[in-house]
Amino acid sequence: MYSRTVFERPLEILELLGLKPGIRYFCFMKLWLSFVRSVKRIASYINEQKEAAFDSEVNKEVEICWDNGKRVLNVCTANYSFGSLYKTFRRAFDAVGLKNEKFSEALILGNGAGGAAYLLRKEYNFEGRIHGVELDETIIEISRQYFPYGYKATDAIFHEDGYDFVLRVEEETYDFVVFDIYKELEIPEKFQDRKFVEELYRIMKKNGILLFNKVVRSRKTKREAVFLEEIMPQVFTHFKKISFGNITENRMFVCRK
The CATH number that applies at residue 183 is 3.40.50.150
Assigned domain for 120 exists: yes
Stronger pLDDT, 15 or 148, i.e. the higher one = 148
Examine the pLDDT at 14 and tell me if it is beyond 60. no
Confidence of residue 8 (pLDDT cuts 50, 70, 90): very low
Stronger pLDDT, 199 or 74, i.e. the higher one = 199
| Beta strand extents in the chain (DSSP E only) | 49-54, 62-67, 70-75, 78-81, 105-109, 129-133, 156-158, 174-179, 204-215, 238-243, 250-256
Full DSSP string of 17-51? TT--HHHHHHHHHHHHHHHHHHHHHHHTTTS-EEE
Stronger pLDDT, 188 or 76, i.e. the higher one = 188
Assigned domain for 100 exists: yes
Examine the pLDDT at 236 and tell me if it is beyond 60. yes
Question: Domain span at residue 195?
Answer: 83-256
- Whole-number pLDDT of residue 20: 55
Examine the pLDDT at 237 and tell me if it is beyond 50. yes
Assigned domain for 87 exists: yes
- The total number of structural domains that make up the chain: 1
Assigned domain for 59 exists: no
Assigned domain for 188 exists: yes
Assigned domain for 74 exists: no
Assigned domain for 52 exists: no
pLDDT in tens, 119-150: 999 999 999 999 999 999 999 999 999 999 99
- Whole-number pLDDT of residue 30: 60
Examine the pLDDT at 228 and tell me if it is beyond 70. yes
Q: Quickly count: other Cβ atoms within 10 Å of residue 64's Cβ.
A: 20
Assigned domain for 4 exists: no
Full DSSP string of 224-255? HHHHHHHHHHHHSSEEEEEE-TTS-SEEEEEE
Angle formed at CA 135 by CA 131 and CA 140, multiple of 5 degrees: 70
Over residues 242-257, the mean pLDDT reads: 83
Examine the pLDDT at 71 and tell me if it is beyond 90. no
* Torsion, Cα of 117, 244, 135, 172 (10° steps): 60
* Whether pTM exceeds 0.75: yes
- Whole-number pLDDT of residue 116: 94
> For residue 254, which of 214, 202, 199, 206 has the smallest C-alpha distance?
214
